[in-house]
Amino acid sequence: MENVSDEKLVRAAQAGDISAFNDLAGRCRAGIVSELTCLMGNIHDAEDVAQEAFPRSFLKLSTLRAPYSFGGWVRQIARNIARNRLSRDQRFVVLDEHHAIDEYSVSVDSGSDANDSQTELALLAMSRLSSKLRETARLIYLSSYSQKQVARRLRIPLGTVKRRLWESRSIMKKEVLRMSRIGRTAEQTKIVPNIRIEELPDQEMEVNTTGPGLYFGSILETGHMEVCRFFDYPGGILTQTVQSQVVRKVNIQGRECFEVLIEHSDCEPPEPNILDYFNVTNQGFDWVMRVTADETYPQTRFMKEGEELFPSSYKCGENKDYSARLVDLTIGDKHYGRSLAVFWGWENGTPAESFYSSEGRQVLHRRYVGPEAPDSHNYQYSNLMGEERKTFRGIEYRLWYDTVLTEC
């Protein structure tokens, strides 16, 4: 394809032609690595950045509205990655602003079905990786973490991160080609389902909740079991599945408690199982104790009485602890109708919004990040620029993850 223009190759790549994207990457890779070597100070870091920049540009290809500028566009993506790494390392470098194209300022052409389809194919391909490959690829390509940061977060060697990325790219390319040819027939629950929230202003409702708002508000009834899934942004990719089961009633320090077994799967690194104990009081659901199945021995934490108390009811309006409004809620093909959206926890910079059906079931839990949130390896406020935003008391919060009830 030596005589084919970049513009035609971009159009082909946006339509699903992986070989066209590979040709585009081959044309500009050497120049980008050369520039990155000057910025980073060595070719090894430059290759590392380039290795991250090209897959990320593939995932974002649908946002490129000027196909003739592919080289400058992917070059700026690489510059942004390099700049972020240098900033994290607390090193200073003067970046060349020539031909600067802000990675996040390029608008998505909402009228292009082909572009939307290409993005969806890439995300679906990533979502169908194994949990280890999926989380490694998600953190690198969607959440902008460096390979060294991912190695520390997942507690694996740097070489393992590199091997997983190589394997992920190989599988994703094959999966995108397969889906382009035969359609998207595989199961898609590893991508967040479509969530539709319609405001119902000037209407009020009060709900009596069926359980505590921890993990997913299990009904406190012996034998009850439910499953929820966590989808992290950017991308809305599955990061873990949690099954909660009410095992029995026991007596803890003179209080009758429900014992809830919480089991994690689909997550990397693996999360330990947990036993939580709740007491039902006139004020709500009192969290009494947690036992975590550590790798070597169980760790037990007793809460002080009333330390973690979840209300037994919510109603529209704002008080000192929460703010609630009435909405019409649909998740995937499930229409819940009139539901109460309860916004809480804004004091620590990472507020949550819990959605309760009219029967008091918590069916959706959304977590946001604010600009003043404490530093954490779990989220990056600046990397959530394209996600849903919520303004509360003059502060803009960006969507971090969704937790969806899938079985009950």
CATH at 66: 1.10.1740.10
Confidence (pLDDT) at 257: 94
Cα-Cα-Cα-Cα dihedral sign, residues 322, 326, 328, 333 = positive
Question: Distance from CA of residue 16 to its chain's centroid?
Answer: 25
Q: Are residues 341 and 298 part of one domain?
A: yes
Confidence (pLDDT) at 65: 77
Q: Are residues 270 and 361 part of one domain?
A: yes
Confidence (pLDDT) at 98: 30
Residue 322 resides in a domain: yes
Confidence (pLDDT) at 96: 34
Q: Are residues 298 and 169 part of one domain?
A: no
Q: Give how many domains the chain has, as a whole number.
A: 2
Domain boundary among 182, 211, 238: 182
Residue 395 resides in a domain: yes
Confidence (pLDDT) at 102: 32
Tokens 């090894």, residue? 44
Q: Are residues 165 and 260 part of one domain?
A: no
- For residue 56, give its domain range: 6-182
Residue ranges of the chain with pLDDT lower than 70?
1-2, 87-119, 182-189, 295-297
Q: Are residues 165 and 208 part of one domain?
A: no
Domain boundary among 182, 205, 232: 182
Residue 1 resides in a domain: no
Q: Are residues 144 and 109 part of one domain?
A: yes
Q: Are residues 177 and 233 part of one domain?
A: no
Q: Are residues 319 and 175 part of one domain?
A: no
Four-point Cα dihedral 397, 401, 406, 408, nearest 10: -70
SS3 118: helix
Domain boundary among 147, 182, 217: 182
Confidence (pLDDT) at 110: 37
Residue 191 resides in a domain: no
Q: Are residues 296 and 217 part of one domain?
A: yes
SS3 382: helix
Q: Are residues 207 and 145 part of one domain?
A: no
Q: pTM (2 decimals)?
A: 0.75
Residue 264 resides in a domain: yes
Confidence (pLDDT) at 1: 54
Q: Are residues 202 and 99 part of one domain?
A: no
Residue 140 resides in a domain: yes
Q: Are residues 205 and 100 part of one domain?
A: no
Residue 72 resides in a domain: yes
Confidence (pLDDT) at 188: 57
Can you say whether residue 361 is alpha, beta or left, with left for phi > 0 and alpha for psi between -120 and 50 degrees? beta
Confidence (pLDDT) at 297: 67
Residue 189 resides in a domain: no
| CA triple 37-101-58, angle to 5 deg | 75
Distance between CA atoms of 174 and 165, rounded to whole angstroms?
Answer: 14
